[in-house]
Structure 1
Amino acid sequence: MNKLTDPHDKFIRETFSRKDVAAGFLDGNLPGEIRKNVNLATLSIVKDSFIDKELKEHFSDILYTVKYRKTDMFIYLLFEHKSYPDQLSSFQILRYETKIWEQYLKQNPKAKKLPPIFPMLLYHGQAEWKIPVNFQAIIQNPGLPERYIPEYSYELYDISHIPENKIRGKVLTRMVLLTAKYIFDPNLRQKLPEILALFNQITNRKTALEMLEIILRYVVRATNRFDEKDVIEIIKETEIGEDIMETFIDRYINQGIEQGLNQGLNQGEKRSLTRLLKARFGKLPEWVQDKINLADLKHIEEWSIRLLTADKLNDVLKD
């Protein structure tokens, strides 16, 4: 499976790579004793992925850095797309945390201590998560003193099995989480107009169009249950602002929903790559954006994969 064409992975990256969505989620869902000491204004993405290739179909991840009091802290978000909980999720998270620390030591070879990592798991499978979130729960212990067995816990956010009124965050974050919550639900068709109605709370027209494209593309590609007629009916039922609805229909529906969303997919890939390059390397030279704009989807995919391991900007975009 190519991670760039998997709809769940792509949806998570396009949305949680946006600082407004990520900060909205963390602001509403970090435990109180953590949230009060975190400065979300310092939030930034520092790495794309630590997941093993064979697990890309079932997991996505994003790593952030943020100031916790006066210390740099990592926040690691693992997104599980399986329809059932993974018994060894705490082990997977521990492995990825080790990779994060290894990467940190490569970049900071003189470091004497490791930075803290706050792990969070977001799950939207159909089966309720009933697995313990502490690591020792998956270790067979015949009586060995617990001090010799590693222990930690992760913060679980089982989005599929919490009431809608418990889904916290600003409007963009709630739209993303509600879409993920109902993506496997047979009643998704009935819920979509409610979710899309939240667009009327977005004041920035450009942001509204971008998010409408991302959400509808995800729904179409992840479910294979919606065609052009369905999308038009959903938009009309939602009573989205007339200017946004007309622009979206003109851009996508009139040229065919599949063709339009595929073109949107290409543009979405370019925006995602640009955003990740900026997060990794800072302000980009003008030639970089020109090269991305002219590239086809094949090159965008290749460059996105190189970003995982490249140390220099030129190494990512070399032909």
Structure 2
Amino acid sequence: MKSSLSIPHDALFKKFLSNVTLAKAFLEVYLPTSVKQYCDLNTLQIANGSFVDAHLRQYFSDIVYSLKIAGAPGYIYAVIEHESVVGQLTPFKLLRYQTAIMQQHLEQGNELLPVVVPMLFYRGRRSPYPGPLDLLSCFENQELAEKIFLKPIKLIDLSVIPDEEIQTHKSIAAFELLQKHIRTRDLLQLAQPVLKILNTDPPPGELLHSMLKYLVEEGKCTNYPQFIQLVTETAPNYREEIMTLAQHLELAGWKKGHQEGRQEGHQEGEQKGELKGERKKTLEIVNNMLATGMQLDKIKELTKLSDQDFAELTEVS
């Protein structure tokens, strides 16, 4: 229940500390020396806004000061806590309010985070203050939290990890190689080490399909027939699936170019030769699909080619 005294006490607290002269005197007394030496109290101003959650305002009141700290914009965040809510997570609540001040600072056009100095004002009956002040006390495993929380982030930078080291990572090695090289290496370079790893330690079926699909759809290839041959030699178990994916993309690209060329009336000279070469290449791919025993209807379904497309392709031979 909200204390009947909390409203007048809070009102006096905020009125008193909203006076800049009195606030300076208050901070001169209570700011730690290690912090105060960086604070230019002559720049102290009252900042707008309360950062306490609406449903917690019966437990907390706050006031924010802006000032120069070590020559840069900073804030002092003073909070009054009512005796009724002294609890284990109070430091975490204050951290949330501090980050809200930081976010507002960024939204005002600043590019870096400010220093926010928290201060907790307690006027309860129990003495001394019975709650925790250390944020680490809010964690279930304080020893582990001390090693992790607010420490530099663990970075996994694939760009600097040698491929030889990645290949020792067992079940995640193929995934890492794909992520590292998919935009920079031709499939003829990338596919072999990836497929060898997948042969040795394949992921579950649906994930395997997703990785093969990603390899073919996102990778760059200068010679699809050579790529299919590489797959046949390196990972025959995946030949049909990769071949279907690769040829589907290849034929879809041919069909788009073929239809655009037909609509434009087939330009003369070199463009005609290029189109003829592409059609011949596509015929080879269709023949390869037929050689695997794939039915014509299935090829049409995968490639979305019409009967007319097939008729024109066979003329190339």
Higher RCO, 1 vs 2 (CA within 8 Å, ≥6 residues apart):
1
Give the TM-score band, short-chain normalised: 0.3 to 0.5
